[in-house]
Amino acid sequence: MSCKSLQLQQQLTYAQANMINEFRALLSELVYLFRFYIMASITGIGGTQDTVNELLKLPLRGNEIIRSIDGDYMDFTPITETYIIGLKNLIDAMLYGDHEKADESIRRLYEIADQNASYLAQLNPYWDDEKWRDLFYVFNRDLVAEVMAIQSDDYIRALDIFDS
């Protein structure tokens, strides 16, 4: 196979590129909403339940993005809602000093990450289980590190983690 034909096979359609950009925006919103949730939980300013409600809208929006590309309906809501609730439970446990619940939440999040990675790898021909798992694991790790940095008033570290 020539280089030229390989390049042609790897070109994205406008719709695919648009979907990638929409998912990036959606994931950025996920990160920002969790940051708002952490800060609202610590300071008491802002509504944590309002933030959770916004977080739980993200899976439905993800479904709409997928549907807009090919008309198929793939319901990502169960796997993403479970993950979002797991992250919320971990944050709550860490902020309230419930080490046992935090440990259980972390264990459960890694189980969810493994399940989600297997599921998503079946749907995506470009990323295998390991690539998806790494994505979830890094997000879990960074979220824990960010909460710990905020709790210890190390806001520079928290911003570094948030920006990474």
Give the tens place of pLDDT for each residue, 76-132. 788 889 999 999 999 999 999 999 999 999 999 999 999 988 888 887 777 789 998
Of the candidates 27, 42, 23, the one whose C-alpha atom is nearest the C-alpha of residue 146 is 42
- Does the model's pTM come out above 0.85? no
pLDDT greater than 70 at residue 1: no
Torsion of Cα atoms, 37 then 40 then 41 then 42, to 10°: 130
How far is it, in rounded angstroms, from Cα 24 to Cα 70?
A: 19
Judged by phi (left if over 0) then psi (alpha if -120 to 50, else beta), residue 46 lies in left
